[in-house]
Amino acid sequence: MKTTAVIMAGGRGERFWPKSRNSRPKQFLSLTKDGETMIQKTVKRLLPLVDMEDIFVVTNSAYTGLVCDQLPGIPKENILAEPCARNTAPCIAFASAIIQKKYGDAVMLVLPSDHLIGYEDLYINTLKKAISVGLEGENLATIGITPDYPETGYGYINFGSETSAVESDAYKVERFVEKPDLETAKEYLASGKYLWNSGMFVWKASSILANLERFMPDIYEGALKIGASYGTESFNETLVKEFTAFRSESVDFGIMEKADNIYTIPGSFGWDDVGNWLAVERINETDSDNNYIEGNVISIGTQRATVCGGKRLVAVVGVEDIIIVDTDDAVLICSKNNTQDVKKVIAQLNQQGCTDLV
Amino acid sequence: MKTTAVIMAGGRGERFWPKSRNSRPKQFLSLTKDGETMIQKTVKRLLPLVDMEDIFVVTNSAYTGLVCDQLPGIPKENILAEPCARNTAPCIAFASAIIQKKYGDAVMLVLPSDHLIGYEDLYINTLKKAISVGLEGENLATIGITPDYPETGYGYINFGSETSAVESDAYKVERFVEKPDLETAKEYLASGKYLWNSGMFVWKASSILANLERFMPDIYEGALKIGASYGTESFNETLVKEFTAFRSESVDFGIMEKADNIYTIPGSFGWDDVGNWLAVERINETDSDNNYIEGNVISIGTQRATVCGGKRLVAVVGVEDIIIVDTDDAVLICSKNNTQDVKKVIAQLNQQGCTDLV
């Protein structure tokens, strides 16, 4: 059976403002010195496993131009343009229906577009295990990341002792849990039975569609209509009509927390969700003062700083534990302890009607 | 006898980079919200005491255009353009010779162009006392600032008990001392006999010229030649020839540390030398989080910060004790503890040949 990939690339990525904007969210940015964007890396690392022509990108219709520019090898008809944002369940239903229409059935690797992987061979190996699990019956496989520390910003996957019949490294999922508090996260780690929910899924199109029919029948019906019109003149009309009618729902809440036959494959391959500006020093090399500095920057006596220079000179003197990001029309100076407050800047800009800066 | 003022405006003011540049030093900047530049304020506060036509500005020839623009009321012939920088002794000799030529003799208030005064009435009152002292014999009067704290960045004036015959608030100067270490500065304050050297002097042209003749005869001779040519066709030629031949010397070292009949008038009129970016929060009102913020700035959870925005948006999140200055081609982010290192940025720019940014 054909192996396809569905790259989910509709996100906004406010936490990388001012580099990320409504018009260019995180997955279309390069946050590493090699200049490759997040989505380019996502596609490139899949190529040992999936042919370019079998890679689908689901994104907002506003970003199809960016996808075309950054991924010229992806066939145009594989760029699935959502007319509006409806979270992951409608996104996956849309892609599943298209893949069913195009291939009859196929394995789908459903993957975020804006994560980084340090050890790509280990990643591919983990995906292969997930594929063998996903090929069996109506199994839904998900990659769980072996935690390094009690992170409170991720959801967790609680797994049991039972393993898949076809793959001894795949464990039956007991439940999905939301972001825990620190105490709970510590208990999760101590138990040895919890993994980080990476948002990576592997299943057959027929399996996820069967589960959609069972748990989200309205979205299933709409997705089938979209799939039926794929390749016809009425496709865009059908897509807009059906997709905009979908309710916003995550696949975790809509399907994964309810379905049977869910297996998780624990992975440890240098995964980083690159969640905010703090990630940049993790995913890049730093200097002897623990600074990550790129671009037009003069740094004097600075420590543990992340400085992304733009066209103008950025002079940084004697500061510590700070993030500085320069762009043509805005510069951010943010304490490392307050990266979550970057979204407050965006809220204020929206409030002030400065939408060109958002 | 006519009272004149000589505003010394040749300085570079590197410590206000990136707002100050070689092409626009500190005295030509506004560092207060009212938009007035330092030199405009300097002239304006003198007007109760000195007629506009009796105010002279000595500056580098590169800045005469700035002086004309910012002080249109000053007669063009009162803008004395130094062909090169030679410190305060040649500057004062030049101005004294011109004033002697123009007025025969006159009182000269010799003043920096880049200081701020909070209590202008008290300032004028102090200057009046200095004038009465300077009118007597060959007295050289200097304004000493009553210290608030043991500052180690200023020179000090040590005065004795003897007062001037004409003014009981003017004390005979014992000696001028260089910038002390903290221990010494504390001793100075405890003694009650030391004032900050403000670099403000009051004397007759004839008095300072007599002292120049005695202690710096070469500069005296050159200055007389410049004075003699003032108003003639050969003025510029004489000025360039004589002035460039002067050695660089401060009036403190060249005259004040050697001359007799020096009196200091203690002043307390909210003087601020506006020595570096730390001054901006002192000379402006701050908000309830002790921030001074001007321009295009969004601030979230920021404390004790000085943020001077430019054309672009500056977003400041969660930072403390920091100075941020945005300009069109450079932005400075500097810890309040490291303002002295701004000059290292300039040194590095010069080294890299980025002279357009200096």
Q: Which residue of B319, B324, B330 is in closest CB contact with A312?
A: B330
A332 CB neighbours in chain B (<8 A) are 315, 317
DSSP string, B185-208: HHHHHHHT-EEEEEEEEEEEHHHH
For A307, name the nearest residue in chain B, comparing CA atoms only: B333
Interface test with A, best of B15, B21, B278, B300 (most A CBs within 10 A): B300
Helix, strand, coil distribution of chain A in percent, nearest 5: 40, 25, 35
Tell me: the pLDDT tens digits for A120-149? 999 999 999 999 999 999 999 999 999 999
| Alpha carbon of residue A99 to chain centroid | 20
Contact assignment for A314 to B333 by CB distance below 8 Å: yes
Contact predicate A333/B314, CB 8 Å = yes
Query: Under an 8 A CB cutoff, do A315 and B338 touch?
Result: no
pLDDT of amino acid A13 = 78
| Percent of chain A topping pLDDT 90 | 97
Nearest CB neighbour to B345, from listed A300, A320, A338: A300
Count CB atoms within 10 A of the CB of residue B53: 12
Dihedral of the alpha carbons of A160, A269, A129, A1, in degrees to the nearest 10: 130
pLDDT digits (tens, 9 = 90+) for A215-255: 999 999 999 999 999 999 999 999 999 999 999 999 999 99
How high is the mean pLDDT of chain A?
A: 96
Q: Which of B335, B339, B342, B352 to mutate to test the interface with A (most CBs of A within 10 A)?
A: B335
Q: Which residues pair with A317 in a beta bridge?
A: A300, B334
For residues A171-205, one letter each, b for 16 or more C-beta atoms within 10 angstroms of the residue's C-beta and e for the rest, the string is bebbebeeebeeebbeebbeeeebbbbbbbbbbbb
- For A311-333, write each residue's pLDDT tens digit: 999 999 999 999 999 999 999 99
> Which residue from B319, B349, B354 is facing A333, i.e. has the nearest CB?
B319
- Cβ <8 Å between A18 and B315: yes
For range B138-155, the mean pLDDT: 96
* Residue B65's pLDDT band (cuts 50, 70, 90): very high
* Token pair of B342 as six digits: 């701004």
A335 and B329: CB-CB below 8 Å?
Answer: no
Contacts of A301 in chain B (CB under 8 A): 338, 341
- Name the CA dihedral angle for A257, A259, A261, A266, rounded to a multiple of 10 degrees: -20
Query: CA-CA distance, B96 to B57, in Å (whole number)?
Result: 12
- The answer to whether the CB of A117 falls within 8 A of the CB of A269 is yes
- Residues A269-287 have pLDDT tens digits of 999 999 999 999 999 999 9
Nearest CB to A318 within list B314, B326, B334:
B334
B98-137, pLDDT tens digit by residue?
999 999 999 999 999 999 999 999 999 999 999 999 999 9
At B98, the amino acid letter reads I
Residue B4 corresponds to which tokens in the numbers above? 């004149």
The strand ranges marked E within A288-355 are 292-294, 297-300, 306-308, 313-317, 322-326, 330-335
pLDDT score for A18? 97
Are A194 and A147 in contact by the 8 Å Cβ rule? The answer is yes
Q: Using an 8 Å CB-CB cutoff, list chain B residues near A345.
A: 298, 300, 315, 317
User: What's the pLDDT at A12?
Assistant: 83
CB contact under 8 A, B331 and A314: yes
- Residue pLDDT, tens place only, A47-80: 999 999 999 999 999 999 999 999 999 999 999 9
Q: Which of A300, A331, A354 sits opposite B314 (nearest CB)?
A: A331
pTM: 0.90
Distance from CA of B313 to the nearest CA of A (A): 4
Helix or strand run (H / E) with residue B314: strand B313-317
Residues with Cβ within 8 Å of residue B46, at least 6 apart in sequence: B5, B55, B109, B111
8 A C-beta contact, residue A334 and residue A288: no
Look up tokens 């990550």; give the residue. A292
- Report the length, in residues, of chain B: 358
Output the pLDDT for position B12: 83
Pick from B333, B354, B357: CB nearest A316: B333
pLDDT in tens, A182-215: 999 999 999 999 999 999 999 999 999 999 999 9
pLDDT at B14: 87
Size of interface A-B (CB pairs under 8 A): 119
Among A19, A291, A313, the residue to mutate for chain B (most B Cβ within 10 A):
A313
Instruction: Name the residue among B316, B337, B349 with its Cβ closest to that of A333.
Output: B316
Digit-coded pLDDT (tens) for A18-46: 999 999 999 999 999 899 999 999 999 99
* Sign (positive or negative) of CA dihedral A7, A8, A14, A20: positive
Would you state the pLDDT for residue B13?
78
Q: Cβ distance A159 to A175 under 8 Å?
A: no
Contact predicate A84/A244, CB 8 Å: yes
Closest chain B CA to residue A311: B329
Preferred mutation among A312, A329, A336, A355 to probe B, highest tally of B CBs within 10 A: A312
Integer-rounded Cα radius of gyration of chain A: 21
Decide if A345 and B298 are in contact by the 8 Å CB cutoff: yes
Q: How many CB atoms lie within 10 A of CB A74?
A: 20
Enumerate chain B positions whose Cβ falls within 8 A of a Cβ in A: 17-18, 298, 300-301, 312-320, 322, 324, 326, 328-335, 337-339, 341-342, 344-345, 348-349, 354, 357
* Burial tier of A351 (Cβ tally within 10 Å: 0-12, 13-18, 19+): exposed
**pLDDT attached to residue B169:** 96
Largest Cα–Cα distance in chain A? 63
